[in-house]
C-alpha cells in the first residue's frame, strides 16, 4: 500500500479585497499518497489553483497546515526548504507565459540542471537535456535544442514545461490546467505523456482541471475531489465518482458531459439545477454554499447549516445534508 506523501488540515486562504476579506479556501482536509493521481475539478473561481499554489509552496495559507513527508511546511529548516523545492514542481496553465522568450530550449532546460547538479560538463548537460526532450516526446531533439519558445506550438511549449519540471527529479508535480490552452486533438496525447512518465518515474500528480471529462480520462485509477466555492463537496475514487456520484453538483457536472454518440447526447436526461449563476465570493450564501442552485434544497436546513464532508457508505466522502439523511431529522 502506498504511503502518505502530502496532507492538508483545515486549509484556509483569505484574500484582502479593499475593505473586505474574501474567503477563497475554507477548511480543506485531504491527503495524497505516493504515486497517486489526485485530481481536483470545479468551475473557475472555486479555489483549485490557489490550493495547487499552496501545495507547491508558492503561496502561504491564511490558516491550517500542509504536511509533506511528515514535515509541516511552516516549520521547515533551510535544508528542508531546499529539498522541498527539488521534490515539488509545478506545470503552469499558460505555456506562453511560463517560458522565458529570450532563451533557447536548451538554455531553459540546462539552467535548473546546472543549478541543482553542479559540476556537469557540456557533454553531460547535452545528454541530460536530450533525455528530457525524448521523455516528453519532442524528437528528434536536434530540432528543438536551438529553438525559442515562440517557434513552438502550444502543445510543444507545454511539453517543454513538463521537461523543465522533470529536470530536478521531482516526486510531486502540481499540474494546473496544463491542457486548457492547447488544441483538443493534442490534449489526450499530452495526458498520455504524463501517465507514461508517472509509470516510469513514480511521480505523484495533483491535477487541476475544470473539465470532468479530462479528469475521468487522466485520473481513472486515482481519486477526484469536486470543489465548489472554496470547499470540497465530494471526494472519491475516480471510478466510483463517475459511476455513482452522490452530491447534486457532481451529478450536474456529469450529466452535462457530451457522449460519444450525438444522438445519446441529445436524448440524455440532464440533472437540472435551479439556478445557473455562481454566487460571488464577495457575497457567499449562508449554510450550504450550493443551496441556491440545488434542486434538493431543504428549507430551514440547507440555507442555515453548512454540511461537513463526511464518509458515505465507506466508498466516498460527501458534504450534503440530503445524502446523509439529515433532511429527515429536520
pLDDT digits (tens, 9 = 90+) for 217-248: 999 999 999 999 999 999 999 999 999 999 99
- Please tell me the predicted confidence (pLDDT) of residue 264: 65
pLDDT digits (tens, 9 = 90+) for 281-296: 888 999 999 999 999 9
Confirm whether 15 is domain-assigned. Answer: yes
C-alpha–C-alpha distance, residues 120 and 106, integer Å:
14
258 CB contacts (<8 Å, ≥6 apart)?
A: 213, 265
Q: Which runs of consecutive H residues, i.e. helices, occur in 37-135?
A: 48-55, 78-87, 95-98, 105-116, 122-135
Average pLDDT of span 92-120? 88
Give the domain range for residue 31: 4-99+170-242
> What's the angle, vertex CA 284, arms to CA 278 and CA 285, rounded to 5?
90
Does 199 share its domain with 315? no
Number of Cβ within 10 Å of residue 65's Cβ equals 14
Confirm whether 78 is domain-assigned. Answer: yes
Does 76 share its domain with 209? yes
Confirm whether 213 is domain-assigned. Answer: yes
Please give the mean pLDDT across all residues of the chain: 91
Does 326 share its domain with 254? yes
CATH of the domain at 19: 3.40.50.300
Does 226 share its domain with 298? no
| Higher pLDDT among residues 17 and 315, named by residue | 315
Question: Per the structure, how many domains does the chain have?
Answer: 2
Amino acid at each position: 500500500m502506498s504511503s502518505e506523501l502530502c496532507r492538508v488540515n483545515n486549509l484556509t486562504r483569505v484574500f484582502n479585497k479593499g475593505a473586505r476579506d474574501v474567503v477563497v479556501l475554507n477548511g480543506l482536509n485531504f491527503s495524497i499518497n505516493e504515486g497517486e493521481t489526485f485530481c481536483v475539478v470545479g468551475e473557475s473561481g472555486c479555489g483549485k489553483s490557489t490550493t495547487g499554489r499552496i501545495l507547491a509552496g508558492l503561496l502561504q495559507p491564511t490558516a491550517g497546515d500542509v504536511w509533506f513527508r511528515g514535515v509541516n511546511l511552516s516549520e521547515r529548516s533551510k535544508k528542508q526548504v531546499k529539498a522541498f523545492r527539488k521534490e515539488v514542481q509545478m506545470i503552469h496553465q499558460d505555456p506562453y507565459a511560463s517560458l522565458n522568450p529570450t532563451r533557447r530550449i536548451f538554455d531553459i532546460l540546462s539552467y535548473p540542471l546546472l543549478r541543482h547538479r553542479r559540476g556537469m560538463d557540456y557533454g553531460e548537460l547535452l545528454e541530460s537535456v536530450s533525455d528530457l526532450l525524448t521523455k516528453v516526446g519532442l524528437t528528434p531533439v536536434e530540432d528543438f535544442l536551438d529553438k525559442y519558445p515562440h517557434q513552438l506550438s502550444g502543445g510543444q511549449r507545454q511539453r517543454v514545461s513538463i521537461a523543465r519540471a522533470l529536470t530536478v527529479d521531482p516526486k510531486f508535480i502540481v499540474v494546473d490546467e496544463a491542457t486548457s490552452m492547447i488544441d483538443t486533438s493534442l490534449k489526450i496525447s499530452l495526458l498520455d505523456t504524463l501517465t507514461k512518465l508517472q509509470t516510469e518515474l513514480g511521480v505523484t500528480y495533483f491535477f487541476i482541471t475544470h473539465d470532468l471529462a479530462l479528469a475521468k480520462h487522466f485520473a481513472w485509477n486515482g481519486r477526484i475531489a469536486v470543489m465548489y466555492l472554496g470547499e470540497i463537496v465530494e471526494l472519491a475514487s475516480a471510478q466510483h465518482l463517475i459511476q455513482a456520484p452522490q452530491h447534486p453538483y457532481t451529478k450536474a457536472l456529469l450529466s452535462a458531459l457530451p457522449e460519444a454518440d450525438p444522438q445519446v447526447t441529445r436524448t440524455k436526461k440532464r440533472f437540472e439545477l435551479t439556478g445557473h449563476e455562481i454566487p460571488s465570493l464577495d457575497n457567499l450564501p449562508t449554510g450550504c454554499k450550493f443551496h441556491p442552485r440545488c434542486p434538493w434544497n431543504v428549507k430551514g436546513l440547507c440555507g442555515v447549516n453548512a454540511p461537513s464532508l463526511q464518509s458515505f457508505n465507506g466508498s466516498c466522502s460527501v458534504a450534503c445534508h440530503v445524502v446523509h439523511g439529515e433532511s429527515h431529522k429536520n
